[in-house]
Structure 1
Amino acid sequence: MSLELRHYTDIDPVRQTIVDIHVEVRQRDLGLTGPFYTAERFNERLISHRSEPGWEAVIAYDGTEPAGFAYATPLGSDTRWWTAMTTPLPDGYTIETGKRTLALNEIVIRRPWRGTGLAHRIHEELLAGRGEERVTLLVNPTAGDGKVQAVYERWAYEKIGEQQPFPDSPVFAAMMREPLHRA
């Protein structure tokens, strides 16, 4: 398996690829249903994330076949990221500048490439060129019977609380990795 990891800061050439992978994995493979998981809703979130300065995606290709992706956006001073927290955070923790916190919005790997370490490779490739101090993400704590959250913990993320960013979304575990780059 010879994988190539490609960086994108322009969504136009890869938007449909990202949406297609998301639908394949979230709906077909994992059976996640309901309005929150539709292609249309995901596309709305993707376009919203992309509208923020600093958006970046990494897509892995096995030849011409896309194997998975991750994308992230820095949290600006006007971010709504922290407003959905159901648990209070320490004073100053949620102050954002556009350079403090990177939000890992999505990381999705297609079935044939799961269990190969590809998710970690894409994750680390995406973070490698970033200058933010820390990285945050949301994970459904029931995904894979808790195994997905455990993967993030192995990658040095710690749970900092919970949030529900949309009325029809799951309650996610909010996780943080500080500093962004780990030895």
Structure 2
Amino acid sequence: MERPFYHRDRFDERLTAYSSRPGWEAVIGYHGEEPIGYVFAVPLSEATAWWSAEKEPLPDEYVREDGARTLALNEILVRRPWRGAHGKGTARALHEELLSQRHEQRVTLLVNPSLSDGRLKAVYESWGYKQIGSQQPFADSPVFATMMRDPLHL
């Protein structure tokens, strides 16, 4: 949270932009009345800039979007008591619930490969994601691993 890209104001800017786009959806998990985590995503439009920050450009056919081809998973967060082995799959359950209602062909996400000494990236790989590139979408953001899960429903 001390780095500018992760500051609350920057998160709010990104959330406002994502949530204003057609097809944006969020799932919030609860334990009783207590919120324990969330995930949100939005389909990539024809005019998306998602692929423009790739360090090595991907083939045109691979990055061509039509608003229904690729879902971009923008954020997933689970509160500490529900993370890891103690969480009994909370993050994955939220993720799969979101995807279960979607009709896109594939889902992409960005992950900071240095977080948790690479363990977070390994979690996504265990969910069926594969790294397809790397990008730095904002001047103050880290270089993220670009990951894709295809098909969306495994």
**TM-score normalised by length of structure 1:** 0.81
Note if 1:147 corresponds to 2:114: no
Tell me which of 63, 67, 71 is aligned to 1:98. 67
- Percent identical pairs in the alignment equals 61
Q: Deviations over 1:42-91 (max 9, x none)?
A: 00000100111000000001112110100000000011100111112123
DSSP 3-state at the match of 1:45: helix
1:164 to 128, 133, 136: 136
**2:105 corresponds to which letter in structure 1?**
E
Alignment of 1:1-183 (within 5 A): 27=1, 33-115=2-84, 116=87, 117-182=89-154
- Counterpart Cα distance in 2 of 1:167 and 1:155: 29
> Which stretches in structure 2 are left out of the alignment for 5+ residues?
none
Q: Distance in 2 between matches of 1:48 and 1:158?
A: 26
Using structure 2 for the length normalisation, give the TM-score: 0.96
What root-mean-square deviation, in Å, do the aligned CA atoms of Structure 1 and Structure 2 show? Answer: 0.7
| Unpaired runs of at least 5, structure 1 | 1-26, 28-32
Q: For 1:153 and 1:98, how far apart are their aligned partners in 2?
A: 25
Count of aligned pairs? 151
